[in-house]
Amino acid sequence: MGEGDAVVNTVGTMSDKKNYQNKLFLAGHFVDASDGGTFEVTNPRDGSVITQVASATEDDVKKAFDAACAAQKKWAATSPRHRADILWRAYEELTARKDEIAELMTLELGRALPDSQSEATYGAEFFRWFAAEAERMQGDYRLAPTGNARIVEVQQPVGPVLAITPWNFPLAMGTRKLGPALAAGCTVVLKPASKTPLTMLLLAEVLRNAGLDEGVVSILPCSSSVLEPLYSDPRLRKLTFTGSTAVGKELAAKVPTARVSLELGGNAPFVVLSDADVATAVEATSVAKMRGAGQVCIAANRFIIHKDLHSQFVSAVTDSLKGTEYGPLSGDDQVDKVTELVDDAVKQGATVVWQDTVPSEGSWFPLTILDNVPTSARMYKEEIFGPVVAVYEAESDEAAIAMANDTNFGLAAYLFSADLQHALDAAERLEAGMVGVNKGGISDAAAPFGGVKDSGLGREGGFQGIEEFLECKLISLPAPAQQ
């Protein structure tokens, strides 16, 4: 194994347990699929089968959505305090079981255990945050500028929601959607990724333990095809999706009359300006790039380094990342994609500065540092989603900003400068929904998360997150009588 030996000792203890929840969570009850169908969930570290999980049918989806629609009016009429209490109790149980949850995520995702432990804490925070937001929803009351009417604005839940989550954050992508939806008074049918359904089914257990009303939430592992009837159902009022840009656009076109939130692909630039502190940038790389072995939508994708700092950065980041703890990719399909991107870059002139050694068994891709990557390489335009540091040299700060914006995506960006005014000026010019300045971490349950351009619509988290599940109703009243 060489310098990467630490990567193999992060599975935890869940691999010896067999009590995974593997049934559908349909309208408050764990049940088998109506046709008895199942699919395998495997461990990417060695390809071993963890368990068989029930695979929902169209009939199961219909039953779940019918239940959500039937429960919508009653759930919307519950008090904000009632909804807040349920989310708070769920937060407390997630916190109490965080080690168990982290081990389960590592088992089904293959991810390094420290990353899963961080997500267990981060994912729970969305329930804590939106438990409070449930009690903070506000409308407005004011006199029209003309003085001829009173304007009353009332916030009401948008209605039944279909949520689709990805595999790379098995817990947090669920809590980030369920938290605001439930706080707002919406019922939800959620489809978790087939690679990582076990964590979401554990979350269903947590919500049931917290006293969630029957019918309010269903969590249905299934193939995407069985959801098709829902898209044309006029009762569907909201679609929230996290995944690829291509799929997100396709889904949005299928639900033209429903509200849509899309958190899509990224191509995050990591920009080191001429006055940056290289040590700060190098330290931030481990979070911005290596969390989840690079399988993160906001992972740094293009390291754009000013020419005066280029050599120093490449040398320092190589020394820093050797021995980094990380896990395998989510499957052989992901390994094949990353391999293609790296081979293409090398063929076009990129230099392999360093490459780790990884186990031959399982879906591993070695941490790879590339220098002098040409802008003609596919990885300049495409999301890598793997442990690859691709370095580009910029002739000037202006050129670095231009390169950073040279993409159809705009989810996240990272910027490094020792001068605050310079950093703020540059950050405002970056075409991204989120910018980390002199740091590698951006996400926070209390902050809005989302992108611009082909990276999506809407925001999750923060004060804005609950607004995605609320409709603003105008009630116009007569003006006050003249005195």
With respect to residue 12, please indicate whether it lies within any of the assigned structural domains: no
CA 303 from centre of chain: 22
Which residues fall within 8 angstroms of residue 15, CB to CB, at 6 or more apart?
Answer: 43, 107
**Where in 295-359 does DSSP place strands (E)?**
300-306, 351-355
Write down the pLDDT at residue 483. 60
Q: Beta strand 259-263 with 268-272: parallel, antiparallel or unpaired?
A: unpaired
With respect to residue 477, please indicate whether it lies within any of the assigned structural domains: no
Same domain, 255 and 279: no
Write down the pLDDT at residue 18. 54
Same domain, 64 and 83: yes
Is residue 275 a contact partner of residue 420, using CB atoms and an 8 Å limit? no
Is residue 84 a contact partner of residue 134, using CB atoms and an 8 Å limit? yes
Pair of tokens at residue 53: 């999980």
User: CA–CA distance from 80 to each of 42, 83, 175, 463 (Å)?
Assistant: 40, 5, 18, 16
Q: d(Cα 378, Cα 390) in Å, to the nearest integer?
A: 11
Same domain, 33 and 51: yes
For 256, phi and psi rounded to 5 degrees? -65, -20
The pLDDT averaged over each successive group of 10 residues in the chain (483 residues) is: 30 50 97 98 96 98 98 98 98 98 96 96 98 95 94 97 97 98 98 98 98 97 96 97 96 95 97 98 98 97 98 98 95 97 98 97 97 98 98 98 98 98 98 98 97 97 97 95 71
Burial letters for 86-121: b for 16+ Cβ neighbours within 10 Å, e otherwise?
Answer: bbbbbbbbbeebbebbbbbbbbbbbbbbebbbbbbe
List the catalytic residues. 263
Please give, one letter per residue, the 3-state secondary structure of 259-311.
EEEEECCCCEEEEECCCCCHHHHHHHHHHHCCHHHHCCCCCEEEEEEECCCHH
CATH number of the domain to which 122 belongs:
3.40.605.10
Same domain, 252 and 378: no
Q: d(Cα 364, Cα 320) in Å, to the nearest integer?
A: 21
Q: d(Cα 178, Cα 121) in Å, to the nearest integer?
A: 16
Same domain, 101 and 228: yes
Write down the pLDDT at residue 14. 42
Neighbours of 221 (CB within 10 A): 26
- Nearest CA to 433 out of 425, 442, 441, 424 is that of 442
User: 36: buried, middle or exposed (CB in 10 Å: 19+, 13-18, 0-12)?
Assistant: exposed
Which residues fall within 8 angstroms of residue 14, CB to CB, at 6 or more apart?
Answer: 100, 103, 104, 106, 107
- Nearest CA to 414 out of 402, 426, 406 is that of 426
Same domain, 284 and 369: yes
Same domain, 222 and 280: no
Pair of tokens at residue 423: 């950093």
Same domain, 436 and 297: yes
Same domain, 251 and 282: no
Instruction: Report the run of H or E that residue 161 belongs to, with start and end.
Output: strand 161-164
- Nearest CA to 194 out of 215, 160, 216, 225 is that of 225
CATH number of the domain to which 291 belongs:
3.40.309.10
Is residue 181 a contact partner of residue 460, using CB atoms and an 8 Å limit? no
Q: d(Cα 242, Cα 284) in Å, to the nearest integer?
A: 25
**Structural domain boundaries, residue 57:** 24-264+457-471
With respect to residue 72, please indicate whether it lies within any of the assigned structural domains: yes
Same domain, 286 and 167: no
With respect to residue 7, please indicate whether it lies within any of the assigned structural domains: no
With respect to residue 425, please indicate whether it lies within any of the assigned structural domains: yes
With respect to residue 38, please indicate whether it lies within any of the assigned structural domains: yes
With respect to residue 111, please indicate whether it lies within any of the assigned structural domains: yes
Same domain, 213 and 304: no
Is residue 160 a contact partner of residue 65, using CB atoms and an 8 Å limit? yes
Total structural domains within the chain: 2
With respect to residue 430, please indicate whether it lies within any of the assigned structural domains: yes
Neighbours of 249 (CB within 10 A): 12
Is residue 420 a contact partner of residue 441, using CB atoms and an 8 Å limit? no
Same domain, 209 and 260: yes
Pair of tokens at residue 427: 């950050």
